[in-house]
Amino acid sequence: MGDLGPVAWPPPPIRTERLVLRQPEPRDRPAIVELHASPQVGRYIGGARPRDELERSVSEAPSGRPGQFVVDLAGAMIGLVQLVRRDAAHEEGPTAGRVDLGYLFLPHVWGHGYATEACTAALDWLDRVLPDERVVLSTQVANQRSMRLAERLGFTEIERLEAHGAEQWFGERPPGGGPGAEARAPGRLDVR
């Protein structure tokens, strides 16, 4: 995965109605371990990682990489959203060289609209700093929550294929947001 190019990183925290998208902090370590050790989170991404391995490998002071946001609700990390450029030199197919949206949320916050809110804020930020950028997203077809989220975010299908032992869905979002972008509430995003 590559970086986002000429974008200054990190940006100021991005505030929405309920969330803050920010850089990782040492207090996020337990949530990062829990996120990657969760069988529910890992179900469609190759499985959970062993907790003891994560306890050894996750830094005491986790650092982010360009394009990665911690999603914070009332001072606690509830997930991660990332926008990273797929490496065209090492990948083939519809995502090669494109900015890819990825997200993981702790299971106890599923179903409350936080993923939609956080991903919308991250995509709105990307639209401001790279206004001509198309964004791709991939998920397993069996992951119905992720498929619905992709649709809400304005992604449309560009390809399906069999990979990693399952049917994969690849979607694309045009610059500026695609369908539904005009319905997003103005002034909802604050980058103080």
Quick: pLDDT tens for 58-114. 988 888 788 999 999 999 999 999 999 887 666 666 667 889 999 999 999 999 999
Residue 180 pLDDT > 90, yes or no?
no
Residue 155 pLDDT > 80, yes or no?
yes
Residue 183 pLDDT > 50, yes or no?
no
Task: Round the average pLDDT of the chain to a whole number and report it.
Answer: 88
Q: What integer pLDDT is reported at residue 185 of this predicted model?
A: 41
Residue 54 pLDDT > 70, yes or no?
yes
More confident residue, 1 or 105: 105
Six-digit token pair at 110?
A: 């599923």
Do you find a cis peptide bond into 11, omega within 30 degrees of 0? no
pTM of the model: 0.88
Domain coordinates in residue numbering, the chain: 14-183
Q: What integer pLDDT is reported at residue 178 of this predicted model?
A: 57
In the structure, what pLDDT confidence band is assigned to residue 190 with cuts at 50, 70 and 90? very low
Give the integer Cα–Cα distance in Å for 172 and 151: 10
According to DSSP, the residues that pair with 157 across neighbouring strands are 171
Q: What integer pLDDT is reported at residue 43 of this predicted model?
A: 93
| Mean per-residue pLDDT, 155-164 | 90
- Distances in Å between the Cα of 99 and the Cα atoms of 50, 71, 75, 189, 192 are 29, 19, 28, 21, 24
Q: Are 25 and 75 in contact (CB under 8 A)?
A: no
Contacts of 54 (CB under 8 A, 6+ apart): 32, 33, 36, 37
Class of the CATH-defined domain 14-183: alpha beta
